[in-house]
Amino acid sequence: MSFRILRFPSAVRRDPTIDRWMAAQAPDLSSIAMHWFSIMRDCGEDVCELLHDGHPTACVGDAAFAYVNAFTNHVNVGFFPGAVIDDPYELLQGTGKYMRHVKLAPNRIEDSASLHQLIMHTYRFIKLQANK
């Protein structure tokens, strides 16, 4: 399956609108979104960010790799190349041409170690693809 990197030249090292976005969410959802977006930020010194389509998006430089989005009762941790990356723990949901997500809800136990590994794997995948 082919994959097209989605690039955002306007991505910056730290975007203050993301903190405002987090503060505007319901507290239980905001804490989930902030936790996972912080992990995305910590993937490497080359991680940049922006609000894309109204939600926090993490990039390797300008190449998008993951995002968070809050809904009424859950948070999605989304992966831009989700349809083509390895998912050995079968966490990813969705049927889109490229993207997949993991749905997280308050008071529901998640396999956080596996999700953390999936975020890191996606970061490395996009970093490799973006530098080809």
For CA atoms 5, 6, 10, 14, the dihedral sign is negative
Kindly state the tokens that stand for 44: 């490497």
Q: What is the pLDDT of residues 35-61, one digit of tens each?
A: 999 999 999 999 999 999 999 999 999
Q: What is the pLDDT of residues 68-108, one digit of tens each?
A: 999 999 999 999 999 999 999 999 999 989 999 999 999 88
Q: At 1, is the pLDDT very low, low, confident or very high (cuts 50, 70, 90)? A: low
Do residues 55 and 67 lie in contact, with contact meaning Cβ atoms separated by under 8 Å? Answer: yes
Domains plus CATH for the chain?
16-130 (3.90.1150.200)
Residue 122 has pLDDT above 70, yes or no: yes
pTM of structure: 0.95
